[in-house]
Each structure stands twice: as C-alpha cells, then as structure tokens.
Structure 1
Amino acid sequence: MEIIHHGAASGVTGSCHELVVSEDVSVLIDIGLFQGAETSGSEGARGGSNENNQAIDFSIERVKALIITHCHIDHVGRLPWLLIAGFRGPIFCTRATAHLLPMVIEDALKVGMTRNREVIQGVLGTLASMLTPADFDDWVQVLPELKVRFRQAGHILGSAYVECQKMGSLSRSSGTLASALPTKAIDYPEVNKVPELHLTDPNFLVVFSGDLGCKNSPLLPDPTPLERADMLVLESTYGDKNHENRSERQARLKRVVERCVKDRGAVLIPAFSIGRTQELLYELEDIIFECKSREGAREGNIWQDIIVIVDSPMAAEFTRQYRKMRDLWDAEALGRVADDRHPLNFKRMHIVDTHAEHHRLVNYLKSTGEPCIVIAASGMCTGGRMVNYLRALLPDPRTDVLFVGYQAAGTPGRDIQTYGPGGGYVELEGQRIWIKAQIHTLGGYSAHADQQELIDFIANAEQVKHVRLVHGDANVQREFRGVLQHRFPNMKIDCACDQ
C-alpha cells in the first residue's frame, strides 16, 4: 500500500492523506482546510491552495471512501470542495464525529462559500446520506479490499486514530455496505451502527494517528494504547517540546485571571469551538468551585464575581452537544456530575447569542475595563468574534490575551504571540493594531500530545516498523525524527516534508 500526502505534509493544517490500496482503489484519511501561511503552499505544503480557494487539486477518480479521524476544521474543512469535485462515496467516522460533523460543515459553508440556506441544506442532506458511523474498537469493512478500526485518540469528543488493514478472510458474509448507510440525518445516540465483521488473517497494518490528545485531559479518556503498526503515520505538532502538567497550567490560568481582576481588565482566550472551549470551561468551573469553598479568603472574594463569557454561537452549540454526549466523558468528569456540579453549565457562565449583544459587550469592555474572561473563536485569531475583541482591547495594558492552542505560522495568533510581548503590532482585517496587552501561552492546554507522549505512544506498542511524521512544521518534523532515531535506532523513521 502506498501513501500520498495531499496536506499537512510540512505544516499543521489541511490534513489529507491518500492510502492507495490497489492500482485503481484508494481511500482518503481526512480532508482538512488549510489555514495561515499554508493556504498559499509557500512553505511547501503539498496540496496547498491559495487564500480564497480550497479546491481539490488532485484526482479523486480512484478514491472510493473517506475516513475521518475527528471533526476539527483542519481535518474536515475541505469536505464541501470534495463534494463539488464529485465524491459520493461513504464517509466513515465515529458516532460522535458523525453527530458533530454537520454543524462543522455548515459553519465552514457559511464562512467560506455561501449563506444560501437552500444550498446549505442540500449539502448537509447529501452529507447525511454518506455518513457511516462506527463504534470505537470495532473492525468495519470500508471496501472489499480494506477494513478499519477507530481507536480512542483523546483529542476531542469522538476523535480517533485509525488502523487500516487489507482484508483477510471474512468469517461471515451477511450484511452489505449499502445497508449500513443511514438514510436520514444523524441524531445521536440513535445512529445506525455499521455491522461488525469478524476478520482473520491480519496483514500489513497502517495506522493514521489523526491528532493524539494529552493524557489526563479534562473530560476525555486517555488515548487507547497502540498495539502495533507496520507503518505509523504520526502527527508531530509538538514533537519538539513537552507541555507543563495539568496542575501547573491550572495554577497559571488562575494567576492570570487574578491579575486581570486586580487590574480591572479582560482576559481574552482565543479558542477553537470544539475541544478547547469545553476544557477551559471545565477548568474554570473547578477553580471557581475550589475558591468558593474558601469564601472568607481573599482569593474566594476575587473569584466570587468573575463572569466567564462564551461569545461564539458555534462553541455554545458544541458545549451543549458535549453535555448531551456525557456517556463519552471520563470518570473524573462524571464524578463531578454525580456531586451535583455542572462543569459545562455553571452559574457564572454567560453565553452571548446575537451579534448585537456581541458588539454591545465589546464596546462596554473597551470603555469600562470590566474584569471578565472571554472565550471566543477563532482559535488562531483568523476570524470570528475574537477579532473584534482584539481590535478593541489589545491596545489596553489592562488586557491579558491567553493562548491555549497551537498558532500556525502566518496567522494573527502567531503574530500576537511572537511580537506582542515586545510591544509590537498585528494586522487585523487590514488594520495595524499596536499591542500593549499582556500575552501569555499555556502549553499545557494544548489538545495535542507532546514529545514525550508521542514517544510513549510508539514505545508502548508491541511492534512499530516504520514511522512517518506529518502534521508538524518541517523543522519540527526533522528535529523530532532525530529524537526518535536516537530512541528507536532499529526503526525506520522519515518525514512527510522530505517525501
């Protein structure tokens, strides 16, 4: 089997990999949107597109199915363009991803293509007819030539790494792929289940990591340990560094917010609607709960009146869906619910629904400096309501901007992160904004496994013969390759950026 990289070969967006099963049959693993500098392909990202065109620039004639690891935009955002290119094969993913995906695609259509309701509903109807949800850990038949299994990745709700294996012999032949396809929109958790197929004669196994999460992340189970791989296509977003631990990051978050309250300013947290927003709410509820139990203490008074504002309709909707899919939470989160706590819907949390309310809030904070925490998209400051907050509040020294996720090269988030601490500026929607706000980065809140966790993912497997690094800046891939070669001297290790 051959692997062709159509995105995330030398960057961290636009994930798309083609697994060629035979001369005229292949499948795609993910079909992500390019962002930041990678939209131009200027840094060599294969499959790169220009800023306003995410069109599919490779042949899909032999592509018979799409496999989705999770529904972040950099892994699914080019799906509308894939449909425009004529793809109508089945789309395999976990049940939670199947439930969340239509909302992500609807948002992508509104932002990048059209707001015509009839067109959007037509795309979503087509998408619903193609979705084929599967349970974690069940082998399912994707094509006559291929079976796959989704394993828990611990990145966002429903995220998976995918094991792909050429077909052995089937122990039963009943059930067809067509009968497994849902004929109406997904309504979690009553989605149709793909018939489980009992397979024997294991052959060459290719594993696509998708995005691997950190251990001990809020809400989510840890990634399922890797068993084996003949070839592992591994993300390397943080292949060059290790995160601070969870207790350290929560303590830093607490200190930043307390500084904000003291200075009568706002804390702005650019966050992706799926995953980071929910984890932050979970952590903030815990800080507020712990401080409330010490009402007489000074810190209890500081946190008593803090308001946590979620100003993103999409993030608010995904938070509601996270609450709905509570069966996928980890034991710690379920324990809090059992104690009558509400980590994603607590008293001091406020959701901004309308654009009018959003603009009133931005103007109010600009003129008053009322202390609060604002969580809004986009996570890399490339658009969304966060841009309005940044334009209004970056010049205010009372403001704190807190980055909790990766900022790709060429995005405003990376520029703020790079030039903000020195009093530089950032271009936002064509306007130069000078930065007087305090800039912070909490690496521990990243949804991506760090260097040590990626090493452990390989080391805990019974056998891994070949590792190919993807989804990382080229210099990070190469640095991480050196680390892995030293740790695993008998393993073949290469980088997609060099292919």
Structure 2
Amino acid sequence: MSTLTFQGAVGEVTGSRYLIEVDGDGGAHRLLLECGLHQGGGDADAANARPFGALAGQLEAVVLSHGHLDHSGLLPKLVREGYRGPIHCTRGTRDLLDIMLRDAAFVMAKDIEWENKWRKRNGKPPVEPLYELEDVERTLALCESHGYGQPVNLPGGTTLVFRDAGHILGSAIVELGIPSGGQIKRLVFSGDLGNPGSVLMKDPEKVFDADLVLMESTYGDRDHRPLDETLEEFARVLAEAHADGGNVLIPAFAVGRTQEILYHLSVLYHEGRLRQQMVFLDSPMAIRVTELYHRARKSLDSEDLKVLNIAASGDTSRYLPILRLTRTVEESMAINRIHGGAIIIAGAGMCTGGRIVHHFRYNLEKPNTRLVIVGFQAAGTLGRQLVDGAERVRVLGQDLAVKARVHTIGGFSAHAGQTQLIGWAGAFRNGPRFYLVHGEPGTQQVLKAALAESSIEAEVPAYGDRIEI
C-alpha cells in the first residue's frame, strides 16, 4: 500500500509538507508534496533548521501547489542538502519562485550578517543560512512547469494534474493518481483555495472525484465579510486618516494581496473617493510581482480588468497615477519625511521584517496613523501582536508605544471562507476521506463540526501521522 506522512502544516497554517511513498512499478518511490517554510516565532526557526537528512537524496520528485513561501520556501534548503530531481509546478508558480526565493535568500543573508556580528561581539559561534542564492539558482533550474489540466507522469506510475485554485497567480489544486494496493487511488490537495469574492483571480475549480482529500482550513471557522462592505470600511479608514492628517500603513503580502489592494485603490481613485495624494509601494519584491501580474494579465479575471479598461491594451498609465514605486533604500527612507497624507504599502505582510518595520518607527507612536491589516497574521508574529491589541511592541531594538489606530480588514482575504470550503468539499462524490490541514487547532475543530453538519466526516491529523492512501 502507498502511504502519506504529514510533515508540516498540521496544527498550524504554515510549513506545508507531505511525504508520499508510492508502492508501484516494482518498488517504493518517494514523492514530496509541498516544501514550505514555517513562519512565526522561535519554534518556526527551529523547524526550518531541521535537516531533511537522507530524504533529500531519496526523493524522486517534488510537486508544488503554488509559490507562497509557506508552501515553497524550503525548496532551496532541500536542494542544498542534495535533492536533484524535478520540481513540478505551474508556469505562474515558476515565475513567482524566481522572484520570491531570490528575495528570501537576500533577506536571509542580511539577517545572518547582523546575527553573526552580534554573535562575534558576544563570543558565540557564527550561524549558517538555511540556503544561499546559488541554492536558489539550482532550485529554479529543476523546476518543470505545466499548464492547468495537463496530465504529467511521475515516478512509480503516479499521475499529476493541476487545476486552478484561484488563490494567486499560478496557484493550483493538485490531483494525484497513485498506485496503491493494486488500484489507482486519487489524492486531491486543495492547496490554498481562493476566495471567489476577491478580484483578479478566477474562481477555484470544483473537483468531483477523489479517494483522499487534503483540504486547507485557514479560515474554516468563519466567513469573510462581503466585499462591498469591506471596501466601504477600507474607504472610510482612508478618509478618516486623511481628515486626521496621518499616514496609512499597510503591511504588504507581496504576492496577491498587494495587487488586490492596488486594484481597489485604483477604483477608489477613479471614483474620486481617494483623498490621499501619494501611494507608495515600498517593497522591491511586491513591485516585481506586480510587474509580473501585468505581464501575465491574460491569466487574470478579464471582467475585473475591464473595470479599468486595461484588459485588451495592457495600458496601465491611468491605473493609479498617484502610485510611486520605491525600489531603493534611499527612496524608502525619504518616505519617512512625509508626516501625513500618504498611503504606504510595505513588506513584510506579517510585519516580521522588511521595510514596514522601519515605517513603524516613524509612525506607530502617532495617534493620527492608521495601520490597516489586510491579511492573516500567524501566531508569534509582530503583526499578530498588533492585531491582538498590544500597547507596546519591540521594533528594531526599540520599545514603541502603539498609539496608531489598528484596523483589521479581513474581507480582502484570498482564502476561501467556511461556507466556500464546505461548498468545495461538498462537490466530491462517493464520500472521500477528508483531512484538514493549514489551520490553527481551534479553527480546524470548528470546520470539522461544520462539515459534519453537511454529512462530511473529516479528520485533523497530527505531525508525523502516516496514513494509507
């Protein structure tokens, strides 16, 4: 019998990883589904540092649902430790990996440089990065991209098909046909399912046949607010910030969320409802991803692009005329001379580093500042502290009083909410086994109970659990 072992994103949202051992074609074959980075706190650092060991040399293929780092961010570490097989993904994912993994290696190198300076001063041994740029280069060379719906043959007689997950550019639902016990068993992994109410992406595809389903549960305990209500709240916060003379800080998730926020700012601008005169996109990675989205606009929802009349021509000169792209450190630092009237979108999305923390130093202690949280904040992150109402936070070695008003606007989520997850699960015929992944424990229990009310039985696996396929 073929088996699946849960090696990540169980009892947590990040660190996606599942080992599939296929009993087919005359022997055992090992495949890895996802290779994600753990995010949030010291436990995550320890989990990321854990060696792959012999597995790196035993694996014959890696399959990736999409490019977010919690699904892909340890790929270069796997390659650094000896993996040399193919990495199967979509074209959009391959293009995003080119941006995101290079950025991750760059940020890691900077962090390690500062860490080792501190260690040298304190008589401690230096530490090594998880991976370096040359590991990223080798990783990208192993990527093999495939279109949605295109069958792919994998080792052990396994077959692979990607379906559109509607989450970010290139995101996919993964369908695997796996030999097991003399039969072909169908395993479906949802990846991150998109929110049909969000803009730019197409709706997630429904899948009807499976024996085993791994389903994400990030927002399994609730539905998102309707988009029109979300946009009204967003517009109101921006108007209040303008009236108070303060800046608006928006921590940027470089892939997906930033492009969606820019879209909505553009709509508000053209409706005459955006009072601010300056919008800064202060994240080199988010700038590169935004440019990639522009080049790949044929993959986006054409109805959304028609709103701004750019679907056919690709002309973005009128998209958001007040947008300024700040690529250099000097341009980023210059923003801090602006004491009000600006919207600053800056990385990182969970406030764990990047340029947003520098803007915190200049803005977080001002009562007229608005901090707008537009994405999930993992436990242990600075973003989560702020969402949970921390009155003081530690930023770049400084203790800051949080006097800014913090607004959490969840309706922008690119993840399916509870009703959409149940609807997607309900499309499967013949009652496959469901396992809930990518969710915090309380959230998963709520979704499990909600699924049971729809006669869908689901299990919540633990780290290291091994099941037959």
Q: Give the counterpart letter for 1:351 in structure 2.
A: L
Q: Cα distance, 1:57 vs. partner?
A: 5.8
Contact 1:268-1:401 at 8 Å conserved across structures: yes
Select 2:380's aligned residue among 395, 410, 418: 410
Give the structure 1 partner of residue 334 of structure 2.
Answer: 360
Is 2:94 the partner of 1:98?
A: yes
Classify the secondary structure of the residue corresponding to 2:210. Answer: strand
Identity of paired residues, percent? 34
Classify the secondary structure of the residue corresponding to 1:388. Answer: helix
Give the structure 1 partner of residue 216 of structure 2.
Answer: 235
Contact 1:60-1:87 at 8 Å conserved across structures: yes
Is 2:298 the partner of 1:327?
A: yes
CA gap of 1:468–1:57, structure 2 versus 1, over 3 A, is farther
Q: What residue ranges of structure 1 are gaps of 5+ in the alignment?
A: 41-47, 169-200, 292-298
Give the structure 2 partner of residue 86 of structure 1.
Answer: 82
Contact 1:232-1:464 at 8 Å conserved across structures: no
Select 1:290's aligned residue among 271, 275, 289: 271
Q: Give the counterpart letter for 2:252 in structure 1.
A: A
Counterpart-to-counterpart distance in 2, 1:80 and 1:27: 16
Counterpart-to-counterpart distance in 2, 1:476 and 1:214: 17
Counterpart-to-counterpart distance in 2, 1:11 and 1:120: 26
Q: Cα distance, 1:411 vs. partner?
A: 0.2
Q: Give the counterpart letter for 1:32 in structure 2.
A: G
Q: Cα distance, 1:405 vs. partner?
A: 0.6
Q: How many residues are matched?
A: 438
Give the structure 1 partner of residue 310 of structure 2.
Answer: 337
Is 2:354 the partner of 1:384?
A: yes
With a CA cutoff of 8 Å and minimum separation of 6, indicate the structure with the bigger relative contact order.
2
**Cα deviation code 1:14-63 (max 9, x no counterpart):** 111112212631211111111113x51xxxxxxx5518836436733432
Is 2:443 the partner of 1:442?
A: no
Select 1:162's aligned residue among 158, 167, 174: 174
Contact 1:15-1:31 at 8 Å conserved across structures: yes
Q: Give the alignment's TM-score, normalised by structure 1.
A: 0.83
**Cα deviation code 1:252-301 (max 9, x no counterpart):** 1101100010001111111211110000001110111112xxxxxxx5xx
Q: Cα distance, 1:346 vs. partner?
A: 2.2
CA gap of 1:159–1:441, structure 2 versus 1, over 3 A, is same
Counterpart-to-counterpart distance in 1, 2:372 and 2:255: 17
Counterpart-to-counterpart distance in 2, 1:14 and 1:360: 36
Contact 1:6-1:16 at 8 Å conserved across structures: yes
- Calculate the aligned-residue CA RMSD, in Å: 2.4
Q: Cα distance, 1:124 vs. partner?
A: 4.0
Q: Cα distance, 1:334 vs. partner?
A: 3.4
Contact 1:266-1:374 at 8 Å conserved across structures: yes
Is 2:40 the partner of 1:36?
A: yes
CA gap of 1:27–1:338, structure 2 versus 1, over 3 A, is closer
Q: Which moved more, 1:334-343 or 1:234-243?
A: 334-343
CA gap of 1:125–1:418, structure 2 versus 1, over 3 A, is closer
CA gap of 1:276–1:58, structure 2 versus 1, over 3 A, is farther
Give the structure 2 partner of residue 217 of structure 1.
Answer: 198
Counterpart-to-counterpart distance in 1, 2:324 and 2:145: 33
Q: Give the counterpart letter for 2:168 in structure 1.
A: I
Counterpart-to-counterpart distance in 2, 1:74 and 1:55: 17
Q: Cα distance, 1:121 vs. partner?
A: 5.6
Counterpart-to-counterpart distance in 1, 2:263 and 2:54: 41
Give the structure 1 partner of residue 108 of structure 2.
Answer: 112
Contact 1:311-1:353 at 8 Å conserved across structures: yes
Q: Give the counterpart letter for 1:29 in structure 2.
A: L
CA gap of 1:338–1:87, structure 2 versus 1, over 3 A, is closer
Counterpart-to-counterpart distance in 2, 1:166 and 1:51: 29
**Cα deviation code 1:426-478 (max 9, x no counterpart):** 22233321111111111111111111110010112334411100111112112
Q: Cα distance, 1:330 vs. partner?
A: 0.5
Give the structure 1 partner of residue 340 of structure 2.
Answer: 370
Q: What residue ranges of structure 2 are gaps of 5+ in the alignment?
A: 114-130
**Cα deviation code 1:298-335 (max 9, x no counterpart):** x5xxx255321100000001100100001101121332
Q: Give the alignment's TM-score, normalised by structure 2.
A: 0.88
